[in-house]
Amino acid sequence: MLRVRKIDVGCVLLRRGFWRRHKKKIFVTLGVVGSGYAVYRLYDAHKRRLYELQIQLAHERENDEKIKAQLQEHFESIQRIADASTLPHAMHYLSSRLNEELDLAVLTERLKQGKDTLTLPEKLDLWDRLKVLSFTKMVLSLWSVTLLSLFVRVQVNILGRQLYIDIARSHENSPLFEEANFIDQDDEQKFLARADFLARHGLPALMTNMEAAVVEILKTKQLKDTFNSSTLHETIMQILETFMSMGKPHPWVDYLMPEDARFPGLTASSSNNLILSDVTKFDQLMTEAQTVLSSDEFTNVVEVSLKTVASAVVKDVCDHPSGASTGTPLVKLVPRVAQVSQLILDEPSENQFIQLIRNIHDVELFFTILYTNTTTV
């Protein structure tokens, strides 16, 4: 028994000696193990959180892609409406109005029937009137189709751009595309229907001013004068420049947009920072359209487009057998000038002049910037 107690005491003393010698190492080891476990728990929690964030980001990316796809689908739908309905309808109505207001058949028929009965002064007077009206109709068609096609593209890009802004703003509050506060469909149609304003209301003043410009330029051009492609091109550009210099800058705004649809105190930039209770989405669309049409960038696009179309018209006139490629008296050129007006007013899908405008680099760049320039959302 005494021996067992001695052994127990020895073991205790041994353990105490071991503890005294190694307690610091044991504490350090326990500290390292405890810290490692804590780090492991933190890492595991961080890993789980990171995984959850990755899942959340994946859902957000998926939702963003869905929104982008629906946005693109909606924009393409607006573009199809403009290409298949808005522009063709506006062009058809414009063509009907121009043919109604500038019916050259009456003058040509009088010249044919009075070939043997009209006096020389009467014939010269009719030919002079036919000259003026033929150039008026041709340049008026050229100007109207160019501005109308550009205006419809402005409308489509503004709608697409506004849709993007609406989605971005609504997405901050609701991630669901269906809950976004989009432009009302009635406002879309009402806005696109403004493409008819030129033919319905702007045409009378436009015709009067264009004819005045034609008279001013052609007053020194005699029917016996020889015209070639350079002379014709110079004449067309002089008429356009004279017309464009009449009145205030950006004259197309008055012909394309009604006065009561413009809000001088509300600009496109201020509409993003100021919400007026009496200004509707349609009002905002019209205000932005006016801002775009009044910009220096749009002015540049108009000038480039008019020059391009004018060159194409001259080529078409001069390449014709009765054209002026080698020089021909103006009296023989007048019928072809009158005929080319109808080509300019062709359906958009078959209209070479509209296709030319669409393919101009400056025009493409302008509308790319217009659509992507979403300003501050």
Euclidean distance between CA atoms 224 and 338, whole angstroms: 18
Answer whether 198's CB lies under 8 Å from 144's CB.
yes
| Contact yes or no for 223/330 (Cβ under 8 A) | yes
Q: What pLDDT is attached to residue 30?
A: 57
DSSP 195: G
State both tokens at 289: 């359209």
pLDDT tens for residues 265-302?
444 444 444 444 457 888 889 999 999 999 999 999 99
CB 247 within 8 A of CB 223: no
Please compute the mean of the pLDDT values over residues 185-197 and round it to a whole number.
Answer: 88
pLDDT tens-digit series, residues 57-96: 887 788 777 767 766 776 677 777 777 788 899 999 999 9
Q: What is the pLDDT of residue 269?
A: 44
| The dihedral sign for the CA sequence 121, 123, 125, 128 | negative
Q: How far apart are CA 52 and CA 30, in angstroms?
A: 33
Helices (H), 82-119: 87-101, 105-113
- How many Cβ atoms are within 10 Å of 171's Cβ, its own excluded? 17
Residue 312: CB partners within 8 Å, gap ≥ 6?
A: 352, 353, 356
| Percent of the chain clearing pLDDT 90 (strictly above) | 42
User: What is the rounded CA–CA span in Å between residue 26 and residue 7?
Assistant: 25
Determine the pLDDT at residue 266: 43
Q: Maximum distance among all alpha carbons in the chain?
A: 162
List, as own/partner pairs, every contact residues 343-350 make where C-beta atoms lie below 8 angstroms and the sequence separation is at least 24, other chains included: 343/316, 344/138, 344/141, 344/142, 344/145, 344/309, 344/313, 345/91, 345/94, 345/95, 345/98, 345/141, 345/145, 347/88, 347/91, 347/92, 348/83, 348/87, 348/88, 348/91, 348/149, 349/88
**Residues 202-244: tens digit of each pLDDT:** 999 999 999 999 999 999 999 999 999 999 999 999 999 999 9
Whether residue 17 is predicted with pLDDT greater than 80 in this model: the reply is: no
Quickly tell me which residue has 């045409």 as its tokens: 203
